[in-house]
Structure 1
Amino acid sequence: MTKIWANSGDSHFLEPDDLWQKNLPKRLAELCPRSEPDPDGEYETVYVDGQIFRRKLPTAALVAFGEMNSRPPGCRDAKARLADLDQEGIWGEVIFPSLGMWASAFRTPELLKACMRVSNEWALDEIASVSPRYVVTAQVSTLDVNDAVEELRWAADKGFKAVFLPTTPHPSAPDWNRDDWEPLWAAAEEAGMVLAFHIGTDPVDPAKSNSVTGGAGYVYRGPGGAVLNYTETTFSGQRAAMKMVASGALDRHPNLKMLISEGGATWVPFLGDRMVEGYRQHHIAVRPKLSRDPKEILYTQVYASFQHDQTAVAAFEYMGYRNVMFGSDYPHMEGTFGHTQDTLKQLFDGVSDETRLRITQGAFFELFPDVPPAPAEVAA
């Protein structure tokens, strides 16, 4: 059996829970997310930026699903992480934050700006410095576009190659299709920074969330709820791509690239067809006019990562969508940790070398050429 080496367009790192509190002035640290568990250990009271709410303890939910006991050491240790990646056959990887998922719960621009800088400095010291295989995503404020541009330029100067953005910005900010964000798109294109959107990051009420960091919450309850809620998270990535194409943001910035992580890839061809139809059939009402076909923009500037989807391979082979990228989602329970090689061999059984190498390595290296080449594939 030959070991297949793949890059990953999606992974996560768990920062210290008290990272922000320990590194901010007291007046700001007091506004950072903190929780007080009830004596029974089932519920907690959460304090964040002047807001107070109660929710079921996220850790209790994770223990119930077995995730707390199955997390590898590399989820918090960048050096130990390399051994996990080597074992799984993962070479380079895009790394998303965890604490940053709280951003939509903040209301104070100064606080959010300061937290993003603390996270970025910590990521440089504790993750990026460990290995050139790590593509750590910078974090920027989504409360104020000027703060976002300032932090993106700082991050680019420090060597970051990608910036994490939620699929919908802060609830009090304009949506991504608004011209307010034009300075950010221009700055990202100029700096060569990839816009890395991760699914499931639409702003939600943290009180209704069972996520560790206040991320995706409940949409559906009752029969089928678990599957419905998991599937629902994928749609936010598709909406982000639509907004960036239809608003003309990508058309105005042809060298700007965006990655939609963990949301699959087969939706891109369908979405392209649908947007072309809407643009053509409703042309009289369409604003702005685009200089290129919407599907062409999607196919050339939008990259999409998946972990288990057989159809993602077909999107490349039969639908002409070349920017398909594998992602392990390490260390999450939805990911491939512990069975990555089995997953890759199932996905690419009987598939051409050209297809396999494009999906496992080529699309990733196209976005991040500074990551060193992956090892040659040898018998395991």
Structure 2
Amino acid sequence: MNDITPTPWPKDRIIPAANWQRPEGVRLISSDDHVIEEPHLWEERLKGADKDRAPKYWKDETGFHMTVDGESYDVPGLPSDFPEGREGFWDVSKRLADMDAEGVDASIVYHGRAAGLIRMADRDFFVRCMDVFNEWLAEWKQAAPNRLYPVAYLPTFFNPEATADYLQKLKQLGFKAIEIPLNPRGIRYNSLAMDPMWRAIEDSGLPLSIHIGAYIQYSGRGSLGANLNANLMPFTGMFGQFVFSGIFDRFPGLKLIFTEGGAGWVPATLENADKIARDYATELRPRIAHAPSWYWHNNCYATFMQDDVAIENIDRIGADRIMWSVDYPHPESIVGNSETVVKGIFDKVGEAKARKIVGDNAAAVWGI
């Protein structure tokens, strides 16, 4: 007997009228939302020889589509209008109306399709394509600059020495936040060769997000669910890489946000990492200055949509270390259910901690 009740597709969800009065002065900030890029973005904005080889990106009656050098960059196994069908994804007026309906005061906004361009073989061309995306995103936020806070994509992980100059450009464009991909092919974040990038980010003061990505690890029967299950909870290893390679020791001012992977993974990860640090202390290289859990409580954050495990373990995670989000307008988002989730957080952890989780932490991290 199938006991699964399907959640409506994002385009079909109805946001109910508010029936809960949040405490006075509470500011709801969604720490992880998304915008889909305007069609033909790269074809129209790239210049010279780049225009001829620009990624082809368009919208038709079936949804959004992208090809690069004739290869489809659509997500296999999903109809485009399932994850990308809600009109507020591309219509900013409808996005703001949805935010109003759910009581969201401000939104930290990440990429739509642009991150998929990391598959491109020509790295220099990839950087120029991400330049186009970042410049467009800086324009897009002007529709509501006190409510929409987009996250720039930092493409210099292929060339760490170029990071400082690129960050100056992003600051001039008005960005308060940056992201890098989770597992770029051929890049080892734990390599000392990456230190110029970490140093430049630390010096910039910009918080750094690592966002989950769509990685195809499995094929065949059940592969869509298996891949999504892995993609939506990927951060245990990445946390260990930052800690055990000594990145936080060398750059203690880094603020790292693990984005869209929930926070329920944190308690078990910290317990396990601390045990590894004790049990293998004589062999670990480099030697780290603190227990791994110390770095979590001093350098790291995680975003979540609805995560009962995290809320039940809030004292182990830290109420100042996690940030609520809608994940607008993805299938796993809580569009249409935000009020219920937020009220549940207040009921379960109390007002003081809940205020931090649903808005105060994000306001402090991103300076908004």
| Category of TM-score, reference length = shorter chain | 0.7 to 0.9
Answer whether contact 2:73 2:116 (CA < 8 A) is retained.
no
Partner of 2:13: none
Q: Which of 350, 353, 357 is equivalent to 2:355?
A: 357
Partner of 2:262: 264
Are 1:47 and 2:54 an aligned pair?
no
Compute the displacement of 1:54 (Å): 5.7
Instruction: Quickly say closer, same or farther: Cα 1:350–1:362, change in 2 above 3 A.
Output: same
TM-score, normalised with respect to structure 2 = 0.84
Q: Which of 92, 105, 108 is equivalent to 2:122?
A: 108
Q: Which of 21, 26, 34 is equivalent to 2:56?
A: 34
Q: C-alpha deviations, 1:105-131, integer Å up to 9, x for none? A: 122232122112211111111125632
Answer whether contact 2:319 2:356 (CA < 8 A) is retained.
no
Unaligned ranges ≥5, structure 1: 202-214, 372-380
Compute the displacement of 1:306 (Å): 0.7
SS at match of 1:112: helix
Q: C-alpha deviations, 1:306-351, integer Å up to 9, x for none? A: 1111112123245546301101000111101122112222343343
Instruction: Quickly say closer, same or farther: Cα 1:168–1:340, change in 2 above 3 A.
Output: same
Partner of 1:118: 132
Answer whether contact 2:30 2:326 (CA < 8 A) is retained.
yes
Distance in 1 of aligned mates of 2:283 and 2:75: 48
Q: Please, which moves more after superposition, 260-269 or 53-62? A: 53-62
Answer whether contact 2:33 2:108 (CA < 8 A) is retained.
yes
Aligned length: 342
Q: Please, which moves more after superposition, 158-167 or 129-138? A: 129-138
Answer whether contact 1:9 1:305 (CA < 8 A) is retained.
yes
Instruction: Quickly say closer, same or farther: Cα 1:45–1:154, change in 2 above 3 A.
Output: closer
Partner AA of 2:161 in structure 1: N
Compute the displacement of 1:83 (Å): 1.9
Compute the displacement of 1:293 (Å): 1.9
Q: Equivalences for 1:144-293 in 2 at 5 Å?
A: 144-169=159-184, 171-172=185-186, 174-199=187-212, 201=213, 215-217=214-216, 219-223=218-222, 225-293=223-291
RMSD value, Cα: 2.7
Instruction: Quickly say closer, same or farther: Cα 1:334–1:60, change in 2 above 3 A.
Output: closer
Partner of 1:211: none
Are 1:84 and 2:98 an aligned pair?
yes
Q: Which of 271, 294, 318 is equivalent to 2:292?
A: 294
Compute the displacement of 1:239 (Å): 2.5
Q: Please, which moves more after superposition, 27-36 or 121-130? A: 27-36
SS at match of 1:176: coil
Partner AA of 2:41 in structure 1: L
Partner AA of 2:267 in structure 1: P
Partner AA of 2:330 in structure 1: H
Identity of aligned residues (%): 24
Compute the displacement of 1:148 (Å): 3.8
Distance in 1 of aligned mates of 2:351 and 2:193: 44
Partner AA of 1:30 in structure 2: D
SS at match of 2:188: coil
Distance in 1 of aligned mates of 2:298 and 2:75: 42
Q: Equivalences for 1:129-140 in 2 at 5 Å?
A: 130-140=144-154
